[in-house]
Chains A and B, each alone.
Chain A
Amino acid sequence: MKPVTQPRQPQLPQPGEASSQRGSARQARLLHLVSFFVPMLGLALFFLYPLALVVHRSFLQDDASLGLGNYASVLAMSHIPGVVGNSLVMSSITTVVCILLGFAIAYMLQRTTIIGRSIIMLALLLPLLAPSLVQALGLLFLFGRNGLVNQATGWDMQIYGLWGLVIANSMYALPQAVMIIQASLRHSDVRYYDAAMVMGASNWRRFVDITLPNAKFGLLSAAFVVFTVTITDFGNAAVIGGDYRVLATEIYSQVVGQMNFNMGAVIGIFLLIPTGVAFYIEKVASQRQFGGGSESAIPVPRNFLPARDIPLGIVSHFTGFFLIAVVVTVVYASFVQLWPYRMTLTLDNYNITTQGGYTPLWTSLLVSTQAAVIGVVLLFALVLAQRGLPRAAAKAVYLLAIVPVGVPGLVLGLSYVLSFNVGGTIMGALYGSALLIAFCNFYHYHSQGFLTMVAGIRTVPKSLEESVTCLGGSPLQGLRDAILPIMLPTLVAVFFFLFMRSMVTLSAVIFLITPSLSVGAVSVLRLDQAGFTTQAAAFSVCIMLLVLFAMGAMKLTLMWLESRGRYSVAEAKAA
């Protein structure tokens, strides 16, 4: 060892440095205040206030007094009980279908060696790439009145209505169900299975006694997500619902069709009830489940049991095939001259001139970019602020931040119309702008983005920030050198999540478009409703391509960050 040559000069702060010190304390306080109040102001202005207005309007009677008059008149409408019943029946059936299929596929992906698992994973990605109504569109091309099947067989099969809606919504919600259930299967520990086997439990007993109880929370959680997204989904209901009216289409026709905002608000409240209840039950259930999995779990190895896996493989691959077939049909139809009569291939469908041509697509791109940028900045600030708050306050922020997941897009959209479609105010000035749609999309997906951010910031070791402080770094330098580098992959993931969801969401933005401002997903709906189904398909393909491109960009960015090798899992764990 070589002695250090320079004489040591311990550096104690000199009295003259006091002013710079106060500056840095002020910087820390300012940083904290800004990162807390700006996101909170956003939540208040673009979420709480609009939502409060919906509640207010639902009680606002024609004579400007407050009361239950609107509720009474909505319930008195002869068709409303039927619509509510329809919604519940449709979502319940969809939930059962998605849970059964979702569990089968998740199990197949996670625990078996059935071949073609990557094809199934790919198939499950497809519904995330496009607006929900693309599934309905594809189903109509295949099974509709003029669908391939009816044409080929001469049958007169009817897909419009409950069953078409159930199939379309199942396809739309299935990937989310699989993801949740798969995550719960992933966390099981093989040691439970080994212990049970040593004690003499059969395959079936181990499945019933270990697998199912462990997956219980995942199944429950998936059920609520499926129920919530399907009861509030607008796209499929509008395209394939036919005469089967559900709450989502009802609220739209009250507001857009009859300009009856108060009635729309009442139906919005109705929609809030099931999602609110689902949200609450899930919260309670997740708290009971808490502490189930352990960090050091050894994953359960895959195996192959013919009696189990041959049926499982058939079900999974049939589902996967169906998902792919529907999307492929849409892509194919986008090149067909006149489905199903003139099946010659053409590029004419891509020459879209009605409904504003491709302008809405570029608007979507702009809106999605804005939503992603605003979202990443505000959410990052919020988790930073939350980190520095005392426990109780942090929990309150957490709860507020995840409330938006319980608010259906349609209700959020309606609330924006009520809040921002008012002339002569500052808030009214935003109406009709892409920026407002961006805000709406961001707050629509606020909760998911927030939860990802929270998970991300938990991997930043507190001691790394403290190292910066002790080495003489200011709070801003701590942010730059300790937090940001580790959070980068999370920020990238949240950015693209918000971007991709904004590109395809329909239910919230449907209320915010104006004659001069529309987005891609709405164009697909309008083209379909105007009878230009192949052009609707072409437009869907364009959206899918853009989203696919974004997804690729995200994967590449994350891979690039990873390849620089500085974000190893071990590093985060050691801390």
Chain B
Amino acid sequence: MHLFIQDVSKFFGQFQALHNVSLEVGSEEFVCLLGPSGCGKTTLLRIIAGLEPFDSGTLKIGERDLREIDAQHRGFGIVFQSYSLFPNMTVAENIGYGLKIRKWPRDKVDAKVRDLMELVRFPELAERYPHELSGGQQQRVAIARALAVDPALLLLDEPLSALDARVRAEMRTEIRDVQRRLGIPTIMVTHDQEEALTMADRIVCMKDGRIEQVGTPQDLYARPQTRFVADFVGISNLLDEQTAAQLSSDLLDHKPEDAATQLLALRPEQLGLRPDGDGDARVTHVTFLGNISRITVEWHGQNLVSEVHSDDPFQPGDRVAFEVRPAAGTWVRA
């Protein structure tokens, strides 16, 4: 089932939280809303869930206008960052809650709950209370609870932000797995670009209530269209036309004729370094990251960042020269 969002705007008093946002989500797609805090991504998710009204635009699922259906009757699943499990209900009761509301017979509820508990991998915890579970387990229960009602759409509001790093990485694959298997269209809000890159079919990058760019993770990383995306998704060296020409005049060859495109976004791994006693660049910092090292280089009063294999020995103070392929980088709107 498709979700259509067209020209949706939202005001909080004088403040416009969303500016004519348009988006489509396909029937089995996993879409991430990515952006810094205050960019409107959570507001958009809450509007889709029906928890927040919107001021103008269209919101439809399939052929049905969602304005006519309130949150209670949309039949969407939602998972919050704070788990939001009922503290007074067991794991099984939590998962079966939506079915109980729908007046399913008891034995069918039980069977479904059992199924879901296996899906989220801990059938033995049925009679526990939420406070007896770890954060990761609680979030699994919350996901199972949301899935129990066979939601037409699954909404995840920063579901992994409260978890520690290792559990978070585990849950990424798990959520994606379950989503693929059940084929539920899913929208996840996150401010973590790594999370978005690893999980999403498509990423919607937002800033100040507007969509900056929509695309696959590869798209967003390799072909950012704006300075913001280039900077927010991964790290970029942003060079103006003159500086880029100084680095290598070849880089100007792939500059589009569009007047608004002004900056070259060059990924650190695209900026090669070679020791050169006569080079006009000087290493200022070396950050060891394991297999690679991040090298900060001062060059004509500008700091550039390069990532090189850790085997290449660079020390602060070293004179270096750049190695850049002619096709490297993307020209973005400033």
Residues in chain A within 8 A of chain B (CB atoms): 1-6, 8-13, 17-18, 20-21, 24-25, 461, 463-464, 466-474, 477, 481-482, 485-486, 564-568, 570-571, 574-575
User: A12-B64, A472-B149, A565-B131 are contacts. A477–B78 as well, Cβ < 8 Å?
Assistant: no
Residue of A nearest to B116 (CB): A4
- Contact B80 A469, beta carbon cutoff 8 Å: no
Q: How far is the CA of A8 from the CA of B62 in the complex (A)?
A: 17
Flag whether B76 is at the interface (Cβ < 8 A).
Answer: yes
With known contacts A10-B75, A25-B70, A471–B80 Cβ distance under 8 A: no
Q: Are B82 and A575 in contact (CB under 8 A)?
A: yes
| Cβ–Cβ contact A10 & B86, under 8 A | no
Determine the chain A residues whose CB is within 8 A of the CB of B182 once the complex forms.
4, 8
B164 is an interface residue with CB less than 8 A from chain A = no
Closest 3 CB pairs of A and B: A471-B98, A485-B88, A463-B80
Q: Chain B nearest CB: distance from A161 CB in Å? A: 56
Taking residues whose C-beta sits less than 8 angstroms from the other chain, chain B's interface range is: 35 or more
Q: Say yes or no for B84: interface residue by CB 8 A criterion.
A: yes
Question: Bound complex: CA of A468 vs CA of B77, how far in Å?
Answer: 10
Inter-chain pairs besides A3-B181, A21-B69, 15 sampled, C-beta below 8 Å? A4-B119, A8-B183, A10-B152, A10-B184, A11-B149, A24-B73, A470-B51, A473-B72, A474-B72, A481-B89, A485-B86, A565-B129, A565-B132, A574-B83, A575-B84
- By beta carbon, the residue of chain A nearest B102 is A472
Chain A residues with Cβ under 8 A from B146's Cβ? 470-471
* Other-chain contact of A5, B82, B88, B115, B183 (Cβ < 8 Å): B115
By the criterion CB–CB under 8 Å, are B115 and A470 in contact?
Answer: no
User: Using Cβ atoms and an 8 Å threshold, which residues of chain A touch B72?
Assistant: 21, 24, 469-470, 472-474
- Residues of A near B149 (CB, < 8 A) are 11, 471-472
Q: State whether B78 touches A467 (Cβ < 8 A).
A: yes
**The one of A4, A5, A467 that contacts B84, using a Cβ cutoff of 8 Å:** A467
Is A467 touching B150 in the complex (CB atoms < 8 A)?
no
Q: Judge whether A12 and B86 touch: CB under 8 Å.
A: no
Q: Are A13 and B88 in contact (CB under 8 A)?
A: no
Chain A residues with Cβ below 8 Å from B102 are 472
Q: Are B118 and A485 in contact (CB under 8 A)?
A: no
Q: Mark B151-184, 1 if CB is under 8 A from A, else 0.
A: 1100100000010000000000000010001111
B325: interface (CB < 8 Å): no
Among B82, B88, B101, point to the contact of A471 (Cβ < 8 A). Answer: B101
Pairs A–B under 8 Å by Cβ, sample size 15: A1-B118, A1-B119, A2-B119, A9-B150, A11-B150, A461-B84, A463-B84, A464-B86, A466-B78, A469-B51, A470-B72, A481-B89, A486-B87, A566-B87, A570-B131
**Chain A residue nearest in CB terms to B86:** A481
Residues of A within 8 A of B184 (CB): 8, 10
- Report Cα–Cα, A60/B76, bound state, in Å: 64
Can you name the residue of chain A whose Cβ is closest to the Cβ of B90?
A566
Query: Which B residues are in CB contact (< 8 Å) with A564?
Result: 88
For the complex formed, measure the closest distance between the CB of B170 and the CB atoms of chain A, giving whole angstroms: 13
Quick check: A10 and B129 within 8 Å, CB to CB? no
Known: A3-B181, A469-B51. A12 touches B1 (CB 8 A): yes
Q: Is the CB of A470 within 8 A of B77?
A: yes
A464, A474, A485 — which one has the most chain B CB atoms within 10 A of its CB? Answer: A464
Q: Which residues of B contact A567 (CB under 8 A)?
A: 87-88
Residue of A nearest to B98 (CB): A471
Q: Which residues of B contact A469 (CB under 8 A)?
A: 50-51, 71-72
* CB < 8 Å neighbour of A4 from B49, B145, B162, B181: B181
A304 to chain B, nearest CB (A): 36
Whether the pair A470, B70 counts as a contact (CB closer than 8 A) is no
Q: Evaluate contact between A467 and B80: CB separation under 8 angstroms.
A: yes
Chain A nearest CB, measured from B247 CB (Å): 47
Judged by a CB distance under 8 angstroms, whether B74 is at the interface is yes
CA A228 – CA B58 in complex, angstroms? 58
**Are B86 and A472 within 8 A (Cβ)?**
no
Bound complex: CA A9 to CA B183 (Å): 11
A570 to B75: give the CA distance in the assembly, Å.
30
Nearest-CB residue, chain B, relative to A475? B72
Closest to B119 in A: A4
Q: Judge whether B82 and A6 touch: CB under 8 Å.
A: no
| B97 at interface by CB-CB < 8 Å | yes
CA distance in complex: A359, B135 (Å) = 56
**Interface assignment of B130: CB less than 8 Å from any CB of chain A:** yes
Least CB distance from B172 to A in Å reads: 15
Across-interface contacts of B83 in A (CB, < 8 A) = 574-575
B77 to A, closest residue via Cβ = A470
Contacts of A485 in B (CB 8 A): 86-88
In the complex the two chains form, is A574's CB within 8 Å of B74's CB? no
Q: Please state if B130 and A571 are interface contacts (CB–CB under 8 Å).
A: yes
Tell whether, in the assembled complex, residue B121 and residue A568 are in contact, meaning their CB atoms are under 8 Å apart. no
B61 is an interface residue with CB less than 8 A from chain A: yes
Is B68 an interface position by the 8 A CB rule?
yes
Binary per-residue interface labels of chain B (110-127) against chain A in the complex, 1 for a CB within 8 Å, 0 otherwise: 001001101101000000
Q: Across the interface, do A464 and B150 meet the contact criterion of CB distance under 8 Å?
A: no
Q: From residue B171, how far is it (CB to closest CB) to chain A in Å?
A: 14
Beta-carbon nearest neighbor of A488 in chain B = B88
Query: B151 and A472: CB pair below 8 A?
Result: no
B101 proximity list for chain A (CB < 8 A): 471-473, 477
A11's nearest neighbour on chain B, judged by CB, is: B75
Distance to closest chain A CB from B121 (angstroms): 6
Interface residues of B in 280-324 (CB under 8 A from A): none
Q: Given A5-B115, A464-B86, A571-B130, answer yes or no on A17-B73 (Cβ-Cβ < 8 Å).
A: yes
- Determine if A566 and B80 form an interchain contact, defined as CB atoms under 8 angstroms apart: no
User: A4-B119, A24-B72, A470-B51 given as contacts; is B145 within 8 A of A10 (CB)?
Assistant: no
- Kindly provide the distance from the CB of B136 to the nearest chain A CB, expressed in whole angstroms: 13
A24 to B49, CA, bound (A): 17
Cβ-defined contact, B70 with A463, below 8 A:
no
* Chain A residue at smallest Cβ distance from B148: A471
* Cβ B82 vs Cβ A12 within 8 A: no
Q: Assuming A12-B64, A571-B131, is B71 touching A470 (CB within 8 A)?
A: yes
Do B68 and A1 touch across chains, with their CB atoms under 8 A apart? no
**B115→A6 contact, CB < 8 A:** yes
Is A463 in contact with B82, judged by CB distance below 8 angstroms?
A: yes
Question: Do the beta carbons of A566 and B131 come within 8 Å of each other?
Answer: yes
Closest approach, in angstroms, between the C-beta of B44 and any C-beta of chain A?
Answer: 15
Q: How far is the CB of B75 from chain A (nearest CB, A)?
A: 5
- Chain A minimum-CB-distance residue to B155: A470
Which one of A1, A13, A464 lies within 8 Å of B177 (CB-CB)? A1
Are B76 and A21 interface neighbours, CB within 8 A? Answer: no
The residue in chain B whose Cβ has the minimal distance to the Cβ of A572 is B87
Task: Looking at the assembled complex, report how far the CB atom of B186 sits from the nearest CB atom of chain A, in whole angstroms.
Answer: 12
- Indicate which residue in A3, A4, A6, A18 contacts B68 across the interface (CB closer than 8 Å): A18
* Contact A12:B152 (CB < 8 A) given known A463-B80, A470-B51, A568-B131: yes
> Do A13 and B73 touch across chains, with their CB atoms under 8 A apart?
yes
Chain A CB within 10 Å, residue with most, of B87, B135, B146: B87
Is B51 a contact partner of A466 (Cβ separation < 8 A)?
A: yes
**Which residues of the partner chain A approach B112 to less than 8 Å between Cβ atoms?**
6
Q: What residues of B have a CB within 8 angstroms of the CB of A17 in the complex? A: 73
- A464 contacts which of B84, B115, B116, B151 (Cβ < 8 Å)? B84
Query: Cα distance A461–B75 when bound, in Å?
Result: 21
Instruction: Name B78's closest neighbour in chain A (CB-CB).
Output: A470
CA of A17 to CA of B70, assembled, Å: 11
Instruction: Provide the residues of chain A in CB contact with B75, threshold 8 Å.
Output: 10-13, 472
Judging by beta carbons under 8 Å apart, are A12 and B62 in contact? yes
Interface centre among B49, B86, B146 (most CB of A within 10 A): B86
**CA gap between A565 and B132 in the complex, in Å:** 9
Distance (whole angstroms) from the CB of B149 to the closest CB of chain A: 6
Q: How far is the CB of A99 from chain B (nearest CB, A)?
A: 40
How far, in Å, is A30 (CB) from chain B's closest CB?
15
A11→B49 CA distance, assembly (Å) = 15
Interface-centre pick from A9, A25, A471, A570 (highest chain B CB count, 10 A) = A471
Which residue on B lies nearest to A464, using beta carbons?
A: B84
Q: How far does the alpha carbon of A464 sit from the alpha carbon of B1 in the complex, in Å?
A: 27
